[in-house]
Amino acid sequence: MFQYIIAAVGFFCLALVGFYVFLGPPIDPALLKPAQFEYPTPVQASCTAGEKTGAAGINDGLKTKTPATYNLRTPANYNPLVAHPLIVVFSPAGTSASKSERHVHLTKEATEAGFIIAYADKLRMSLKAIEHLSTIQLDIQNKWCIDSTKIYYTGHSDGGTITNALTFLPSSKSKPTAIAPSAAGMDSESLKQYACPSPLPVMVFHNRDDSHFVGFGKQAADWWAQCNQCITELSPTDVNGCQQYSNCSADGAATFYCESPGSHSRWPNKNHVLINFFKGTY
């Protein structure tokens, strides 16, 4: 069944040139710096002193025991005794971890909300590469104080497809709590080849002017809604361009489809929506 993911690589090649030349609007450098997090008081320790040795702030060029590598940012005032939620961002094709960080510019908002956030370096798409990428979460949990019940995946284009695949492939070594794939190259024909994973919250982002994967976002959202035992009726579009599927019978498996204007290469730029979704407050 994995051949359906590999087949999507052909589509990714069409998008690859766009990512190599994509500059986008200038990014405020402040958005790429870890922010202070206002820890609740009193602080409740979840990890013992000296147990987690990962450094605070900006950590680049981190290596797992596999070929997967990543960059990681903690809150600027990171407390290694407190369990933090984790976001892992998977890169588009042809895009490094540092370029992916600039593309999605989630660092300030995520760390300010108390998340640790990691940016995975690209690996050429294959089943083995996806297995390697699944070890990033485990590597982080070994080094930083992470709440294992609050693990979140997102990524754009190739990164969106990896986000999906890591969630439903049985070979994945770790599973997320919720996901928010963007511009993923998986349509209903490819997704229907896979068994549904356990229900989980899903927010699918897709740009309406995406000429590479026309209609793929809504098809993927419908598949996830079916997996989460929702009915196909959607709520009216809210101010953020998001619609929610109705009556998801699976507990805690809210399912959203969010659409924005823009081409395939454009990040939807709904970072506050994504952060609030992962916090469970959207």
Nearest to 119 by CA among 167, 155, 170, 94: 155
- Cα 151 to Cα 115: distance, rounded to the nearest angstrom: 10
Q: What is the pLDDT of residue 235?
A: 96
Those residues with Cβ within 8 angstroms of residue 189's Cβ, 6 or more apart along the chain or in another chain: 4
Q: What is the pLDDT of residue 13?
A: 44
Tokens of 22: 């994509």
Q: How confident is the model over 227-261, as pLDDT tens digits?
A: 999 987 899 999 999 999 998 887 889 999 999 99
> Is the distance from CB of 155 to CB of 91 less than 8 angstroms?
yes
Tokens of 36: 């202070």
Nearest to 136 by CA among 55, 74, 65, 56: 65
Phi-psi sector, 247: left (phi>0), alpha (psi -120 to 50), beta: left
Q: How confident is the model over 17-58, as pLDDT tens digits?
A: 344 434 456 789 999 999 999 999 988 899 999 999 999 999
Q: What is the pLDDT of residue 255?
A: 97
Q: How confident is the model over 69-111, as pLDDT tens digits?
A: 999 999 999 999 999 999 999 999 989 999 999 999 999 999 9
pLDDT band (50, 70, 90) for residue 1: low
Q: Quick one: average pLDDT of 63-73?
A: 97
Question: Taking 50 as the threshold, does the pLDDT of residue 14 lie above it?
Answer: no
Structural domains of the chain, ranges and CATH numbers in brackets: 3-41+50-279 (3.40.50.1820)
Q: Quick one: average pLDDT of 180-184?
A: 98
Q: What is the pLDDT of residue 10?
A: 45
Question: Taking 90 as the threshold, does the pLDDT of residue 133 lie above it?
Answer: yes
